[in-house]
Homo-oligomer: A and B are copies of this chain.
Amino acid sequence: MANIIEPRILKGFRDFLPGAEIERRSLVERIEASFRLYGFVPIDTPALEYAEILLGKGGGETEKQIYRFIDHGGRDVALRFDLTVPFARFVAEHRETLPLPFKRYHIAKVWRGENTQRGRYREFTQCDFDIVGSESPAVDFEILLVMRNTLKAIGAGDVTIRMNHRGLFNRLITRLNLRDKAADILRTVDKLAKAGRDATAVSLEELTGGGKAAEILRFIEARGSFEETLDTIAEAAGGEGPESERLRLIRSFMLDMGIADSFVLDPSITRGLDYYTGIVFETFLTAMPEIGSVCSGGRYDDLAGLYSREKLTGVGSSLGLDRLIAALESLGKAGGRSTYVKAAIACVDEAAGGAYQALADRFRERGIPCEVFPEAKKLTQQFILAEKKGAHWVIVPGEKPSESPLTLRELKTRRDRTDLSFEEAAAILSR
């Protein structure tokens, strides 16, 4: 007997069975519908690129995690590990043909050979949306608005978007004569929630000395209404300036739309990544703040600097799909469907396959997804199969499927509705 190869998949990778895949697609479809209403358009880029393009000036952590190899043609290639780097390359390459401001979304798989012990996957879907080519505060505001309204549209409920402006923090650091330590300070502050206040205070004092840690902590711990906090941190940063004025304008947009309650100015939000230069933000579900930010990003000065001498500013955000799916499941807002089908037509006579499909097509024309069972097994067996597949109804056709009255079996209650015309059956299934 031939040897059998054990069917197995790589650690950190997963199959999506129909229930999980339907859930994921349903979420992605609703997210896309929302993005499209705001004028965002989709793009796609290759999964495989030159390693040189993806690694740019090289980077320790990234280099260790990337799937990289030499292809048949001797090229040094790698699987993309995020959607930001391919987008930067894309914008540099197609700059001439893109009308600015260019609003794109990209929902696609990325690969990282991460340590799976932390519950991370090595293949996962990212969902990024950006507006490039405009410095306008209206564009910052639009990203915030799209985040808020998209999360509402997918049933995640109310959100709190915690935001800040990197420029104000930079002015504070400059005033304290700490510019050369800015990156280290940012990284330390970014870990405040994880490390705790005391440990952060010690780390900051070690980094900066001379009591400057206290001033930094005062800044990042400023609390109050959006306006009060803004007054406090603007003063700490050395007075009003373009950054605080931009935040005041964005705030007026929120007030004009009556959505001000969704936003908090939180000076402890810095986002670790070096390339943010303007607003930065993280988004928390009111019903489940403990799962962390489900949508984060910020404004950057120079998206494609590695590949182009032309500066392209922009603002962008990334939705955490896996985290959102987990949250929606916990909140009972996930569909829990394992099929799109509402009803299955039972097979009573195997010679009537054409007539059953003709009957099914009439339901399908009304937008009612309808499956036809091929084998004339016992009706009870067909009911069990329909239930396993996730259908709610079985249509039991009569002797002449196109003319005879129909019986509808409701699987949950095990009740039959008999002697129905096609129209009556279609009306029940459309509910």
What is A's interface to B at a CB cutoff of 8 Å?
1-2, 4-11, 13-18, 21-22, 24-25, 36-39, 41-50, 52-53, 56, 64, 67, 69-73, 75, 77, 79, 89-90, 92-94, 97, 99, 101, 103-104, 109, 111, 113, 123, 134, 136-139, 141-142, 145, 149, 249, 252-258, 304-309, 338-341, 344, 347, 350-358, 360-361, 364, 367, 369-372, 374-375, 385, 388-389
Contacts and interface: CB of A to CB of B under 8 A. Distances in A.
A113 B72 contact: yes
Contacts of A344: 39
Given A10-B75, A15-B94, 10 more contacts: A5-B53, A10-B50, A10-B77, A21-B43, A36-B340, A37-B370, A67-B71, A134-B374, A249-B353, A257-B358
B21 A42 contact: yes
Contacts of A109: 47
Given A38-B371, A252-B354, A388 B347 contact: no
B99 A388 contact: yes
Contacts of A145: 357
Nearest to A38: B371
B101 A374 contact: yes
Contact of A41 (B21, B38, B43): B21
B39 A341 contact: yes
A39 B369 contact: yes
A147 to B, nearest CB: 13
A371 B93 contact: no
10 contacts: A2-B305, A5-B56, A21-B43, A36-B341, A38-B360, A41-B340, A47-B109, A134-B375, A139-B374, A256-B353
